[in-house]
Structure 1
């Protein structure tokens, strides 16, 4: 009999233990096996999380390519978590088997492949068959319908004064320097404009090349706000005019008779201080006598309310489109396609797994508690139920693969050169770091473009994503080169990590002061100038109950999870090959450099921008 030394590790959490019997069998490339060995339940009791034992075989098994685990219940079924298994052969060879899986069923059997990543075309016939069986089993769990959107189907008094909104912040007892700055300067034009660059929704602003036909701003309206001697058209030509258009909300009914919604257009100007400031706001898509263009020269309350309406519309678009659709739901499509089409031993599966961690779970929670008919979002915002789906479907019509490629998205909006756009500056650094890392991993496993083309699992993965987006003509259905594959994987990782961080974790900073970004409005937008006073504004803003719910919601969404795993941190090491481990080290070093650059810059800023600092970017959409 030959003896093999085995080390089995579980996780350091109480529920990772089991009182059922666990059996282990070693398998070689010809499916020859060792003795079926009992890993005694007592060995996984208490705080012990690793156990070494011997496994016997009647003959030399050579290279161990698989380990079979079996869990047999007794009177009660217990789940059990296996972290990894290590095997030392009689000839002193070592084999690692990353698992990171739960055994949940009453009498469950799983096969774990040796840790080396393998492309499907490089497997033996036996392993190809098992690989296909694994994917067929997984596809029964992760199924795609016609579209991922199919699954999407007391205190009503007004506040007396704007200062009263501070009362609900007292309960949080949180010192937040950025929020304090917002509370102090929220009504100033520079603070309003700054948020289009570095607030929660930094993707709506774009360079204005031509004024829309339905936004008849004339030079004489804005002459006093431009550089002396330059016309509006000259400023447009010089690249100093920007626009934020909420056309996507046009015609969308508000959630109830107590809520109002509109689709404003806001014109912005880069002034001599390189600040972005508003110079004209129209509160609908239909110009005319009942839709005046509001200007900074209007009376204080007219201009204040016009800006509030823009920010309220921005809040709704941010939550449903920028945040929910373009990070949460898109990442879910990537995750489902990964599990359906990429075997656990595939290098891309190993690469992406940390970046889809908990995404399906958090989205299921969001569907039930946030965006359902009776969910929190329908109670605090202007959009509910079927109208949410309508907005998301409109956004899907313009969603393209290129729009998820960060550099191309910035270029498409003409935002390459505008100063103080920290979202762009930091995002580019993160994009480049991820792309370099991913490219290094791709080159380890793919020695040519032809290897990519012959990888049937990757091609099916890409095809599944295209189908899942329900917008297949705007997403690639195949990949032909290593460069294309690296860019594609960069999109997946960037979307789930950096993009989500950029549009999620600043919510309490920017939405914590309700007048700065009202989640809904309770009176219709004014149809004439000169009729708004402070009482009209207070009656328009969210009431006491709605404000409290909104504040609690954005506070919860802005919190990191316990034991959060930040970008580049992979404690559950799925890769065993040294070249990949070296690539991860290089990636972490680059991220540390970016963190230090951002930290140094922020020390010079009144309003620091840290949402894209790598040490504050979780690996995945998990909140």
Structure 2
């Protein structure tokens, strides 16, 4: 290389936004070029400036006698001096001022004292191609010590043993649920409910919402059969409904009893026309409840697609067995009796939603995947860089949420019939059923339920919008995976991805994540195997969670609409009931307030939209191009959904990409 008197290099250093990320230590850097050519060490320090504070970008000009036309790697270390020596670096950018050439060094590491880290330009490679394999393996061993797997609750998904400091929130923001709850009560004038008792009337209950946190969707629509039908397909528990291909034998009802609700059709005709649908919540049968005087239903219900293409309930049986005291309720029953049947149905549905659809199948399953990814994939691995934005805050919110909400005498124990004992019993059942290649792969799940054909059940807004997003994610993942695995042998030779697949599928009893249905049982052979797996993970962390989390305030905040707890006994016959019967079944005023405040917090969105990553891990130019193509596809989908919502009543906003976050962050 040509030697010259002096060459200037501009160095920008981004210190991470983590607790304790900044450093007061002395920082030094060496440039490495080809053929072992390297610079002398340079100290990065700007007089009269407190360099390397958390979240800051610091700039330095370094003069060297060497002329680097290409910087292949940097060597970076800190000497541990000062009160705050620990240092977390996001990235370093070096610009050769004479040529304008820019070299990016993604770091995303804690720089421990006096260890010389080697970071390559773009820092993206499969393990076989990493010249710094000893450093790579050392860092993975450190991660395995930090991210240990453990089953915290018997039968539940695997979780991290102790939350690593890297996963803690660096700021409180809205994730301090307890603090926000008290602030909301104090500023909303709802503190008067804290000492209240039962509701005097539905009018009394409805009026609470006028000056609170906004009026939930269910307040004005809860008694409507069309709205009850829409809850099955355009709200947060959207993936239970199935096409009904035969009358269920365990329902105690005849065709003659159903015929008045079929617009002149017979049952065989309705089935042939794909207009009869079923939800069977048998999985929650015999789940324990938190108190002997509480009852949990395990309902089965039939729904009809009417001539206006609206889904309406036509039969609800609250328990599984045919019994004289377990009638099938129908829309022509006495009005308050039919209302009560729908409320008790929703009690079972809500128990399933919070335990499985929401907590188990997004938060908890994905925490295990996140932990395994940290344990088995180097931060230099392209697949780690693909997944990392979708794990942001996941472990932190799980830790905080479980401690406050799903703990003895916590929110679930106070507001739900099942309490935490029933919730974890249901979770243990559910994760024995959930499979990545069916339940976690949207087209396969829809096919399993007879609903992949979008001509069947028009108005299934979740399906119609989610399919657009699923395909966009799959396109993105497929192109990204093919970029790094252009030959099948590259998958076979990647021991990190093989270890990742092995730990994903290894039984929880043997220390693994225990995910069922991973393609080829985690022994990946093809690009398609990896694509299906990674698409499922990214979809679940973004679209899957958004669709089941953010409607919570609209559904739960008005208890008659979607009760998670009801007092008394479900109706055992068709005797007329009254508004008073409904009121005495509802949660009291303090419990209602608890439901309102927490579901309002859980329904808030505070992180970036999908594709707009809070932390950018991908710097490799061909990969960045794929990311940008993904973002453009998401923009087009957003336009499509906005157009669809102009014709929908009400609009289905939950899967507009502008609204869907990257990760499970609340």
Q: Same fold (TM over 0.5)?
A: yes
Aligned equivalent of 1:286 = 321
Mean alpha-carbon deviation: is it higher for 565-574 or for 463-472?
463-472
Structure 1 residue 454 and structure 2 residue 493: aligned? yes
Aligned equivalent of 1:44 = 50
Q: Secondary structure at the match of 1:615?
A: coil
Deviation of the 1:289 alpha carbon: 1.1
Matched residues in 1 for 2:366 and 2:457: separation?
29
Structure 1 residue 347 and structure 2 residue 353: aligned? no
Q: Secondary structure at the match of 1:398?
A: coil
Aligned equivalent of 2:396 = 361
Aligned equivalent of 1:70 = 78
Number of aligned pairs?
612
Structure 1 residue 576 and structure 2 residue 616: aligned? no
Conserved in 1, the CA contact under 8 Å of 2:7 and 2:98? no
1:191-202 equivalences under 5 Å are 191-202=227-238
Matched residues in 2 for 1:597 and 1:457: separation?
39
Aligned equivalent of 2:584 = 539
Conserved in 2, the CA contact under 8 Å of 1:519 and 1:550? no
Aligned equivalent of 1:509 = 554
Q: Which runs of 5+ in 1 are unaligned?
A: none
Structure 1 residue 119 and structure 2 residue 126: aligned? yes
Q: Secondary structure at the match of 2:457?
A: coil
Matched residues in 2 for 1:439 and 1:4: separation?
41
Conserved in 2, the CA contact under 8 Å of 1:70 and 1:110? no
Decide which structure has greater helix share: 1
Deviation of the 1:268 alpha carbon: 0.9
Describe the shift of the 1:457–1:324 C-alpha distance in structure 2 as closer, same or farther (beyond 3 A). same
Conserved in 2, the CA contact under 8 Å of 1:100 and 1:572? no
Conserved in 2, the CA contact under 8 Å of 1:9 and 1:50? yes
Conserved in 2, the CA contact under 8 Å of 1:567 and 1:615? yes
Structure 1 residue 163 and structure 2 residue 163: aligned? no
1:398-437 equivalences under 5 Å are 398-402=433-437, 403-416=439-452, 417-437=456-476
Structure 1 residue 87 and structure 2 residue 91: aligned? no
Conserved in 2, the CA contact under 8 Å of 1:10 and 1:81? no
Deviation of the 1:445 alpha carbon: 1.3
Conserved in 1, the CA contact under 8 Å of 2:95 and 2:102? yes
Matched residues in 1 for 2:145 and 2:36: separation?
26
Deviation of the 1:326 alpha carbon: 1.0
Conserved in 2, the CA contact under 8 Å of 1:33 and 1:57? no
Structure 1 residue 5 and structure 2 residue 49: aligned? no
The root-mean-square deviation of aligned C-alpha atoms, in Å, is 2.9
Deviation of the 1:351 alpha carbon: 0.9
Conserved in 2, the CA contact under 8 Å of 1:68 and 1:111? yes
Q: Secondary structure at the match of 2:232?
A: helix
Matched residues in 2 for 1:384 and 1:377: separation?
5
Q: Secondary structure at the match of 1:236?
A: helix
Describe the shift of the 1:15–1:366 C-alpha distance in structure 2 as closer, same or farther (beyond 3 A). closer
Conserved in 1, the CA contact under 8 Å of 2:94 and 2:104? yes
Deviation of the 1:344 alpha carbon: 0.7
Q: Which runs of 5+ in 2 are unaligned?
A: 162-193, 507-511
Q: Secondary structure at the match of 2:91?
A: strand
Equivalent residue for 2:596, pick from 519, 544, 551: 551
Equivalent residue for 2:640, pick from 597, 614, 623: 597
Q: Secondary structure at the match of 2:540?
A: helix
Q: Deviations along 1:254-306, whole A, 9 cap, x unmatched? A: 11245331211111111111111111111111220121111111101110000
Deviation of the 1:11 alpha carbon: 5.6
Conserved in 2, the CA contact under 8 Å of 1:355 and 1:493? yes
Equivalent residue for 1:607, pick from 637, 650, 659: 650
Aligned equivalent of 2:177 = none
Describe the shift of the 1:67–1:209 C-alpha distance in structure 2 as closer, same or farther (beyond 3 A). farther
Deviation of the 1:12 alpha carbon: 9.4
Conserved in 2, the CA contact under 8 Å of 1:168 and 1:548? no
Equivalent residue for 1:309, pick from 344, 351, 370: 344
Structure 1 residue 276 and structure 2 residue 311: aligned? yes
Q: Secondary structure at the match of 1:308?
A: helix
Equivalent residue for 1:567, pick from 610, 613, 619: 610
Matched residues in 1 for 2:79 and 2:463: separation?
50
Matched residues in 2 for 1:606 and 1:323: separation?
25
Structure 1 residue 336 and structure 2 residue 371: aligned? yes
Equivalent residue for 2:246, pick from 188, 192, 210: 210
Structure 1 residue 622 and structure 2 residue 665: aligned? yes
Matched residues in 2 for 1:167 and 1:32: separation?
75
Deviation of the 1:546 alpha carbon: 1.1
Deviation of the 1:352 alpha carbon: 0.8
Deviation of the 1:71 alpha carbon: 5.7
Describe the shift of the 1:4–1:478 C-alpha distance in structure 2 as closer, same or farther (beyond 3 A). farther
TM-score by length of 2: 0.85
